[in-house]
A and B are shown apart, each in its own frame.
Chain A
Amino acid sequence: MTPLLKIDGLTKTYPGVVANDDVSLSIAPGEVHALLGENGAGKSTLVKTIFGLNQPDKGRMEMDGTPYAPSSPEDARVAGVGMVFQHFSLFEALDVAENVALGMSDPPPMRDLSQRIETVSRDYGLPLKPGQIVGDLSAGERQRVEIVRCLLGNPRLLIMDEPTSVLTPQEVDLLFKTLRQLRDEGTSILYISHKLEEIRALCDTATILRGGKVVATCTPSEESAGRMAELMVGRRLDVPARAGTVRPETLLQIDRLSVPAASEFGTALKEVSLTLKAGEVLGIGGVAGNGQDELVATLAGETRSPADTIFLERRDISRLGPEQRRVRGLLTAPEERLGHAAAPDLSLTENGLLSAATSQGLARRGFVDWRAARRFAESVIERFDVRTPGPGTVARALSGGNLQKFVIGREIAQDPLVLVVNQPTWGVDAAAAATIRQALLDLAGEGSGVIVISQDLDELMQISDRFAALTEGRLSPFRPAAGLTVEEIGLMLGGAHDMEPAHAH
């Protein structure tokens, strides 16, 4: 059978990097083909070439055996290629129908279009109302707009760029159902992800990219996730190793901390108590939006709490601001990388300086010591393997995983007494996540205390000594992580700790 799309020896170079190096692959009609690789492996460059957003330096593509060289997305759409972007290419102020119309080469009049949107969204289980303003929609609904936009063009190849990174598990299930239906109708799908379990569940073939080159082609259902991860990363991924032991002295103590919600969408913290010992890693699990951000903000000093609620080495720090807490050794890394943990348009040197100016002596008498600041940023870049041209690069130019390594590394490099991190590996590829987890464990091994707040339960089980769940602003009692079963964790997350006395027989 002639492949639907055949790529032969594609090479694309950007100043300083070879993004795609002699890449070849072929996709059969009705095949779900995975494109697997770490951040920066060249996946996005490759699909942008297929979608006509950039032109290859070398190599050729064929559709149905005829040469295919799109010079614009328009050409690609005409040839039957549709693409759902990772960062949605939607217009928030416009409504669903207008957004769809913009992505079509030759849209019908608005009234017909609205009807077709309703038909397609019903047929494929993607509920949408054409008149809704996109700015009011959830991430999952926005993705549906993108998918419907592609489907109306009757694509023969649908490209999905990391479609599940912003979806809830329920939304992922819904998406997979739709994709399987499309496949059964003969549409080919090029599915880009670094989530191995998803690929094993959905895809027929996988092409694995590393450093811009194809390193392997395999059948995901026949490979183990571990084997594919090795191919993707290029080396064995070690399970993080513990070094030190928990010591008896208490570093951080929170005593019945209650903080009202800051906004109507916020969560109030209710009587949160915990004790963090030297050398200990505390894991706090729970679905985002249950008080995680508020807890981090309160520990960072962004939100002040009542006196006598937070103690660092037995001293009350409840009323201190962020800078005073930093000086005393309590550092935090918030969840939002761009805009909260890092200033997007400042260089890495400047972003490092913002956090470490005092602790590393990067400013003296109000003047910045730029040479020392650059050295500090360079040391973080080197130690945490941040892939960037240099410390002068602005934060927003880094990929998510690399920036995450930098903002967490920046705090770890300051040898904190206590480090609080929120979602440390969210959206980070497997190798970078392993680096970050190992660094957190090493920090604890040196006698610091670490609090990890995360939605990723596997991660928490891997690295924490004790585990608790944060549900609707309440923190369950901590339990040793070793030996916890999935059912027990589920009960803790469900908020069952409140009802425990009622269940006791």
Chain B
Amino acid sequence: MDLGSISPALLIASLMVASTPLLLAALGELVVERAGVLNLGVEGMMIVGAICGFATAVETGSPPLGFLAGAAGAALLSLVFAVLTQVFLANQVATGLALTLFGLGLSSLIGQGYVGIKPPGTGRLDLGPLADIPFLGRAVFSHDWMVYLSLALTVVIAWTLARTRAGLKLRAVGENHDAAHALGLHVVLTRFAAIAFGGAMAGLGGAYLSLVRVPQWTEGMTAGAGWIALAIVVFASWRAGRVLLGAYLFGGVTVLQLNLQAVGVALPVEYLSMSPYVVTILVLVIMSARRARGTAAPASLGKAFHATH
């Protein structure tokens, strides 16, 4: 065993790549849940995004088009959820679970011809002299543009929710949809938009998996990432900054334990494999327990809204 063989710069670099799909999907679900909708179909939307993105990138040879198609495909799927839960007032939990099952099946169907193909590579973003900084250059400044986009989106979402009128309206709809309606806000429209946005973000996360992280297409390749994203949103107590922390923590421990396995640490593999889950949950639980107030779930989360007279 030689812990010295683990390079910290490489560790951080692969941590960022491993965390990006989770971060994207969790940010999307954060917005959905802040609008008062519980969409358990993240896993299904991610994998549909993964195959749509993969197929498009392979056919067109353009990764950006692939990411766009991944987002669009998953957003389209999420609209099925939106119509069922917001128009026909179907139960959100059941519909979300069904969406996951449907997404898994649909992606296998679309993906039949794409097994074993390599997608076109997503290029690194050239950050010029930044990439030449010792250690930091290799760890932080030599990634593809999606990594930086996901970080930028974290800031944009946090800022939009906290500071803009649109964000305030979205939070209001999630807190008390009856009061929001009484004030003349468009509850159903807001939720449709939030659900579609959440779908697009999950699709981006999925496409990142199939185009960058793995990169190839296999059935069921999301392997529970959507569920982790859902859990991160809850344990991050619905705050964008903590979602980033949770996603990077989970990604980080995942990468670390893989490295530890590789150098042969004298711990059973099962313990190492479960460590990302345990560590992420522990840290976020401790953080959310410390500040009991202001961390509560959106009050209308998961409740059906029907405008009565």
Contacts and interface: CB of A to CB of B under 8 A. Distances in A.
Interface in B243-291: none
Interface in B174-188: 175-176, 178-180, 182-185
Interface in A83-116: 85, 88-94, 98, 101-103, 107
Contact of A48 (B179, B183, B309): B309
Given A102-B172, A107-B165, A89 B183 contact: yes
Contacts of A85: 182
Nearest to A135: B293
B168 A98 contact: yes
Contact of A92 (B165, B175, B182, B185): B175
Contact of A90 (B179, B185, B296): B179
Nearest to B296: A93
Contacts of B180: 89, 91, 102
Given A54-B309, A74-B184, A94 B171 contact: yes
A93 B175 contact: yes
A101 B298 contact: no
A73 interface: yes
Contact of A53 (B175, B179, B182, B293): B182
B182 A73 contact: yes
B168 A88 contact: no
Contacts of A101: 165, 168
A102 to B, nearest CB: 5
A89 B179 contact: yes
B299 A92 contact: yes
A102 B169 contact: yes
A95 B111 CA distance: 49
A14 interface: yes
Contact of B176 (A90, A103, A107): A90
B141 to A, nearest CB: 36
Contact of B298 (A48, A89, A93): A93
Contacts of A19: 309
B165 A91 contact: no
Interface in B129-187: 165, 168-169, 171-172, 175-176, 178-180, 182-185
B309 A45 contact: yes
Contacts of B175: 91-94
Interface string B234-245: 000000000000
A89 B178 CA distance: 7
Given A54-B309, A90-B179, A93-B298, A72 B172 contact: no
A14 B184 CA distance: 21
A383 to B, nearest CB: 29
A102 B185 contact: yes
A103 B179 CA distance: 10
B280 to A, nearest CB: 25
A125 B169 CA distance: 29
A102 B172 CA distance: 8
Contact of A102 (B168, B178, B293): B168
B233 to A, nearest CB: 16
Contacts of A48: 309
Contacts of A98: 168, 172
A73 B309 contact: no
A14 B309 CA distance: 9
Given A90-B179, A91-B172, 10 more contacts: A53-B309, A72-B184, A73-B183, A90-B176, A92-B175, A92-B299, A93-B299, A94-B175, A102-B172, A107-B165
- For the complex of A and B, the 8 pairs showing the least CB-CB separation, nearest first, are A73-B184, A89-B179, A91-B175, A89-B182, A74-B184, A72-B184, A91-B176, A93-B175
14 contacts: A14-B309, A54-B309, A77-B184, A89-B179, A91-B176, A92-B175, A93-B171, A93-B298, A94-B172, A98-B172, A101-B168, A102-B168, A102-B183, A107-B165
